[in-house]
Amino acid sequence: MTEQDAPKDRGSSAIEAERIVERLTFSGPARWMIILFTLAAIGVAINQLFNLRLGGYSLLEGMYLYVLAGLFLSLTFITFRAWGPPSSHVPWYDWVLAAATMGIAGFFVATAGASLDGGWEYAAPDMAVWASIAFYLLILEGTRRAGGLVLFGIVLVFSLYPTFAEHVPDPLNGFTQPFRDVIPYFMISSEASFGIPMRAFGNLVIGFILFGAVLQFTGGGKFFNNLAMALVGGYRGGAAKVSIFASGFMGSMSGSVISNVLTTGAVSIPAMKKTGFSARYAAATEACASTGGVLMPPIMGATAFVIASWLSRPYVEIMMAAAIPSLLYFFGLFVQVDAYSARRGLKGLARADRPRVMKTLREGWLYIAVFALLIFLMVAFRWEKTAPFYAVTLLLLVNQFNKNDRVSFEGFLNIIVSVGRTLSELVAVLLGIGMIVGAFQATGLTGPLANELVHMAGNSMPMLLIMGAVTSFIFGMGMTVTACYIFLAVVLAPALVQAGLNELAVHLFILYWGMVSFITPPVALGAFAAASMAGANAFKTGFEAMKLGGVIYVIPFFFVLNPALIGQGPPMEVLVVLVCALIGVWFISAALQGFVSFVGPLNSTGISAMMRLLLFLAGLMVAAPVGGIAGLSHFALTLFGIAIAMPPLVVAWRAGQEPETATT
């Protein structure tokens, strides 16, 4: 298979399904149901989060979450088909399932007060038991449709695990409970389906997903893409650098790697190929940028809000902690693209193909103002739950004065449909993986399992981290980012925290390693999606993406060993380790590409491999924010790394003084 062949590798069918879903247009009763249910859910959320008490009544938290679950899980059966390709045609039985979902959710809303007073999660009456079993089956089916068979299988096994836990060998041995007791616990308690994941959804996620969708539909995505093109499009490899900025920003809003690849990649990949990038490299660049977007503040997709709820910390703290690792990742990607472009003599976009900076800013400065308002409200007032709604209101108001991207009434309805489909998918997944959390709570397994993992690692911190990274990678291959994080937050995070690591750093470590599978074969769905658009070989694109995004494999180890890299430390220490990390990432990126940006090539000499290896090792030493390696302090290790880097840098500088020759 050549790079120009369309890929037929594993994952292509799933990617094609994603692409079809992006194009689905619902009409008739299905469209209006999505619109009405989504608007109702947003209205209930506004009433709850702003404490408006419309009608003189305020919902209990459990009632509020049941309302959201009923509305969005019912939409899951309207927007996702039971089998076959995605379709906007809704069969009669899916209407029945949607109605059943609303009816059962309504039962739990009506009985929430009695349930709370009577402790139904432990002693439910027969009616509540049967309602719980019916809701359990509907959630399983919704999880299967929205999350796929792998996630469905994992949720099914773990949801039944409490019924046979005592028959499982150590370290997974736990307390066994009857099926009739387990299922009501999942549906009624605040420790399972309606625990932390759904609370994060109801309190934080719903507002930010709405903000991201409105921003894109009102022209915000186009503005930031034009701004990136105006700022960096003219430099060598400009098309790829625009992709890094634009895809990173869009990924932060959408929280979905695949959706981001399919939307921004439609523009960025042809632009990169047009300016001299190979199809494989263009696809890999888009995949890496889209993956990094989910890790980039200020929005970071849904998972960051789940982390905030899980740790009971302000979202702003999660956002600030993720800033430095995200900066390092995108810096490494940017430097590699620059080195690749210099090595191959690629030019930037022509002046005629680039918008002007000032003209772009004049036309879109309001988008920056909206973002500034959002961040100001979150940081200054800590209005994390309500800030996105203020930003959405301002965005819709100022949009009406924008002649080019003014949203019509039909456009507004399209925004609501898009939000409804996104939120219904997310709720179905969250309700399912909430049962995994509940299974560990019901069997009392969390603490003993953490102890067993520490024991298996032989009390070795490096071994425990490697086990954690491999586990996160494996589960990331078969689960969504949010599902993978929640599962590992229950199973793995306690063991790492018990070993003495910073709690916030541990949870970001899990998030990062759960994301790695999007650019790492054999799954690499982000890379495969981009490859299908570029007409490149899927597996070759995956390996190219691994090299381009290589920094993502080492950064988590750095910040989990020294939390100063997530801003957890004295300002001077944070500054020092950040500067060292940037230098180290520069070295590592240069070694991977065989060209030191701003210096010269490493591949024009007979000792290229040795120079690249030395520079790679030097990068690891300088970037590593810890001491104790070979008995060296952090300062000594950094100096030693810089000393090792000098020969390759000298070689690159001398090669750079020679007459320019573009090499491949």
Domain count, the chain: 1
Q: Is residue 582 part of a domain?
A: yes
Higher pLDDT, 92 or 150: 92
Give the pLDDT confidence score for residue 7 in this predicted structure.
Answer: 37
Higher pLDDT, 352 or 621: 621
Q: Is residue 220 part of a domain?
A: no
For the stretch 538-581, pLDDT in tens is 889 999 999 999 889 999 999 998 899 999 889 999 999 999 99
Q: Is residue 621 part of a domain?
A: yes
Give the pLDDT confidence score for residue 583 in this predicted structure.
Answer: 94
289-293, 385-389, 398-402: lowest mean pLDDT where? 398-402
Asked if 537 and 2 touch (Cβ cutoff 8 Å), the reply is: yes
pLDDT at 134 exceeding the cut of 90: yes
Q: Is residue 28 part of a domain?
A: no
Q: Is residue 133 part of a domain?
A: no
Asked if 242 and 259 touch (Cβ cutoff 8 Å), the reply is: no
**Strand residues in 167-301 grouped as ranges (E):** none
124-128, 130-134, 536-540, 660-664: lowest mean pLDDT where? 660-664
Asked if 581 and 565 touch (Cβ cutoff 8 Å), the reply is: yes
Domain that holds residue 584: 570-664
**Strand residues in 542-664 grouped as ranges (E):** 595-596, 600-601
Q: Is residue 660 part of a domain?
A: yes
Give the pLDDT confidence score for residue 43 in this predicted structure.
Answer: 94
Higher pLDDT, 562 or 446: 562
Q: Is residue 496 part of a domain?
A: no
18-22, 70-74, 207-211, 324-328: lowest mean pLDDT where? 18-22
Q: Is residue 647 part of a domain?
A: yes
Per-residue pLDDT band at 312 (split at 50, 70, 90): confident
Q: How far apart are CA 162 and CA 135, in angstroms?
A: 18
| Both structure tokens of 580 | 């060292």
Per-residue pLDDT band at 173 (split at 50, 70, 90): confident
58-62, 96-100, 177-181, 426-430: lowest mean pLDDT where? 58-62
Q: How far apart are CA 76 and CA 100, in angstroms?
A: 12
Give the pLDDT confidence score for residue 659 in this predicted structure.
Answer: 56
Q: Is 181 helix (H, G, I), strand (E, B) or coil?
A: helix
Give the pLDDT confidence score for residue 217 in this predicted structure.
Answer: 83
Give the pLDDT confidence score for residue 239 in this predicted structure.
Answer: 84
> In percent, how much of the chain has pLDDT > 90?
29
Highest mean pLDDT out of 19-28, 305-314, 501-510: 501-510
Global model pTM greater than 0.85: no
pLDDT at 606 exceeding the cut of 70: no
What average pLDDT does the segment 239-256 reach? 75
Q: How far apart are CA 591 and CA 620, in angstroms?
A: 11
CA nearest to 142, candidates 102, 192, 98: 98
Per-residue pLDDT band at 159 (split at 50, 70, 90): very high
Give the pLDDT confidence score for residue 282 in this predicted structure.
Answer: 92
Average pLDDT, the chain: 84
What average pLDDT does the segment 201-222 reach? 84
For the stretch 262-290, pLDDT in tens is 777 877 888 888 888 999 999 999 999 98
CA nearest to 236, candidates 573, 535, 640, 595: 595
Give the residues across from 632 on adjacent strands: 629
pLDDT at 385 exceeding the cut of 90: no
Give the pLDDT confidence score for residue 326 in this predicted structure.
Answer: 92
pLDDT at 80 exceeding the cut of 80: yes
Give the pLDDT confidence score for residue 57 in this predicted structure.
Answer: 74
Give the pLDDT confidence score for residue 285 in this predicted structure.
Answer: 93
pLDDT at 426 exceeding the cut of 50: yes
At position 16, the amino acid (one-letter code) is E
Q: What is the 3-state secondary structure (H, E, C) of 43-111?
A: HHHHHHHCCCCHHHCCCCHHHHHHHHHHHHHHHHHHHCCCCCCCCCCCCHHHHHHHHHHHHHHHHHHHC
pLDDT at 313 exceeding the cut of 80: yes
Per-residue pLDDT band at 658 (split at 50, 70, 90): low
For tokens 């299908």, name the residue.
Answer: 532
238-252, 517-531, 607-621: lowest mean pLDDT where? 238-252
For tokens 């995505």, name the residue.
Answer: 221
DSSP 8-state secondary structure symbol assigned to residue 640: H
DSSP 8-state secondary structure symbol assigned to residue 517: G
Give the pLDDT confidence score for residue 8 in this predicted structure.
Answer: 39
